[in-house]
Structure 1
């Protein structure tokens, strides 16, 4: 018999999507304090949720590794069924997620109506394309008669994360002029040009700022090229910090300049102002930076948006959406934003 306290949340999309689902955990614990919340997510994104007081258990679904393919999916479905959940919420909109939700056998299965597997849900909530993703995720609670107030994303670095950042920044000047740049993205068309990031870093260090280059292991070659030959005030932190440690570093920075990618949402969880550069995607999709006083720079072009997530190549082979955002435009906007404090 399902345990009425057990709730499963499924979000196995990108790291940024998992960051933006954290307000849902907070709201569940706020309105239903007795529940036990488990989250099914990817191994990479699980790091974002560790130490979160609103998540009682993490289940890693390595859909591209140990659990890939139909056999891995079937094993996971059997495991979820045996866990006896009473309620499952599915912010992630995919057929595979809907199948996993159905496989649990939970009496209450909540998801969005805009999903090709929505018929497997007992409660279908309207997907409002005009809302920020955090608000959309919270709207799933309306199926339970709960109307949660807007909540920011959350991330919880621990002592080990703080120590890692202390060590990385030990030689950096202890002032308020720390700026983070996050030049990477899984999608090449969402990256502001590498040469632009390099020029911006040079201009910022000339102003006396310390610049930290953030990214994962996959971003190390990119960040190394940007930092090469520049001032020692450019610190390449790519691949050196976990996601939660990166959030801790962002918390200590005055501002982040980033593409439309996961670091933008890490900064929102850290409460750090963000200057976000949008190209093939648009903020209206619901993924704008959440942190207060953040700014989006974008160009008005007939070809935008050309994709919902990003792509490998520009469809019209110009990359005008991001190449047209000049270094001077970004630098001047940074000056305006930092002059407010």
Structure 2
């Protein structure tokens, strides 16, 4: 088989899923001599690959699929790597006729695992599932972490108060869906037990949550939610002594910096999607075993049972102890 010289890797969303494609892109670039690697994603996620030295060109999904397909044809790729595997990518592969390698989503097994609440999928990380798609090209896992390249040189003095510049724990309190987030009262309780400087991280959607937590938890907690850009938030993650976070993109991005991570899971479970912390030295996956969990692959707007035990019953002490054992500030 003739090895490709110009490859397009495709993954449209979401933040967490795209960040886990970075080892594939790195391995392609480093293991195929002289290969040119391009990446196609949605405009909203361009920041994940901007500045990535293993990508020669970043393509963004256009307003129409026809326009995107036209651009792909004009580029003259001799290979497509489909790491999304949905109807849109199927149409792209069919209409371009380019040789392709596709990630096996195992959709039926995932659906059955969710409905039966049984783990029918092997405990294989998403990175390794992605890499399996390019194994026919001779690509092997280099066993290195995911990649994220900061866009600018930031300073803690510009982003944090003096009380938090000498060391802090990052607590990522945002997530796309309610059932992925811990109730504010439990976040407050954990922050009080830590008794160390804590920086709350998240978007504008959880700014008010951050205000509540900071007011209730005391002066050791600083609310940065909605106050920093995403790239600045990643910088703060990279400088933290440890990270506490939910099932959300920023928590996954933290893995690029080998920071100890306490990963907290509510209605979702990492085994279903294969997104447990990857290639970091110290991590904790916190969750409770109850009959109704998982109730969703991606999270819900409310607990279907109304009790929200999957978050309310998580052992706070194990999180506090993990952070305390890993990093003394």
Query: Where on the TM-score scale, by shorter chain, does this alignment land: which range?
Result: 0.7 to 0.9
CA distance in 1, matches of 2:189, 2:60: 40
Q: Does 1:34 align with 2:34?
A: yes
Q: Secondary structure at the match of 1:58?
A: strand
Q: Does 1:18 align with 2:11?
A: no
* Cα shift at 1:14: 1.0
Q: Secondary structure at the match of 2:289?
A: coil
For normalisation by structure 1, the TM-score amounts to 0.84
Q: Deviations over 1:192-249 (max 9, x none)?
A: 1111112222333xx2x22111112333232223223543432222233333332221
* Distance change >3 Å, CA 80–CA 165, structure 1 → 2: farther
* Distance change >3 Å, CA 81–CA 323, structure 1 → 2: same
The equivalences for 1:301-316 within 5 A come to 301-316=290-305
* Cα shift at 1:110: 0.7
The equivalences for 1:168-183 within 5 A come to 168-169=159-160, 171-176=162-167, 178-183=168-173
Q: Does 1:198 align with 2:188?
A: yes
Q: Deviations over 1:121-169 (max 9, x none)?
A: xxxxxxx7531111111222212132233231011114x2x32544103
* Distance change >3 Å, CA 5–CA 239, structure 1 → 2: farther
The equivalences for 1:209-224 within 5 A come to 209-224=196-211
CA distance in 2, matches of 1:154, 1:338: 23
Unaligned runs of 5+ in 2: 108-120
* Distance change >3 Å, CA 244–CA 101, structure 1 → 2: farther
* Distance change >3 Å, CA 163–CA 337, structure 1 → 2: closer
Q: Does 1:333 align with 2:326?
A: no
Q: Secondary structure at the match of 1:172?
A: helix
Q: Secondary structure at the match of 1:213?
A: strand
Q: Secondary structure at the match of 1:79?
A: helix
CA distance in 2, matches of 1:270, 1:101: 35
Q: May I ask how many residue pairs the two structures share in their alignment?
A: 313
* Cα shift at 1:92: 1.3
Q: Which residue of 2 aligns with 1:82?
A: 74
Q: Secondary structure at the match of 1:55?
A: coil
Q: Which residue of 2 aligns with 1:252?
A: 239
CA distance in 2, matches of 1:242, 1:34: 35
Q: Does 1:96 align with 2:88?
A: yes
Q: Secondary structure at the match of 1:295?
A: strand
Q: CA RMSD in A?
A: 2.4
* Distance change >3 Å, CA 184–CA 142, structure 1 → 2: same
Q: Which residue of 1 aligns with 2:260?
A: 273
Q: Secondary structure at the match of 2:101?
A: strand
